[in-house]
Amino acid sequence: MKRIQMSVVAALLCSLAFAQEAKITLDKDSCSFDEVIKVTFESDFKPDSVNWPTLNGFLNSRGPNTMSSVKMTNGNMEVQYAKEYHIRPAESGMLTISSPEYFYQEKRIMAEPRTLFVSPNNMSEEELKEQLYLDFIHNGIKPKGTKRVTFHEDKGYIEVFGELGWKIERRLTEKELKKIGGLK
C-alpha cells in the first residue's frame, strides 16, 4: 500500500515538473469597432502570482471571471487556470493583447501575444466622443485615482478607484452636501 501511495505522489510531482504553458484565446480574430469580444488568459498551472497586462486600446465590458480546475486522468493531474474578460475595442486597426506575466515555482511564464484586427468605425467625430464618454461611465474598471461622489440615505461619500476597486476616501461634510444641493 505504501508503494502505491509513493507512486501516486511521484506521479503527481512529475506531472507538475513538466513545462507549464500559458495561452491567450480570443473568440474571434477580427471584429468591428463597437463589438464585444471574449478574451481568455489560460494556463495549465495555478500561478503563484500574476502581473496582469493593461488592455490598452480596449474597454472592459465585463469581467474578470476566474476559473480553475484540477482533474486526475490515468494518474496524471491536469490543472487549468483561466481569467476571462469581455472587452470592446476603443480604437480601430491592429490591436495587440499582451500576455500576463505568470510566476510559478520561481519561473516566469508568458503566452504569445494575440493580435486582433478591428475594422474602422463609421461614427462621426461627435458620435465617437459621445460613445467614449458613455464607455467611461459604463466601464466597471476606471483609471486608478478616479474619484466619484456617492450618496446613501442622508450621507455622501467621496470614493477613489484603486487596485481593488472603489474605496471610500472620506465622508462629505454637511456644508459640502448643501453646496452640492444633494440630499434633502
pLDDT digits (tens, 9 = 90+) for 55-106: 888 877 777 888 888 888 887 878 888 999 888 888 888 999 999 999 999 8
pLDDT bin (cut points 50, 70, 90) of residue 134 is confident
Give how far the C-alpha of residue 25 lies from the chain's centroid of Cα atoms, to the nearest Å.
13
Q: Is the CB of residue 135 less than 8 Å from the CB of residue 57?
A: no
Counts for the chain of helices (H) and strands (E), in that order:
3, 13
The answer to whether the peptide bond before residue 64 is cis (omega within 30 degrees of 0) is yes
* Per-chain mean pLDDT for the chain: 82
- The CA distance from 41 to 111, in Å, is 9
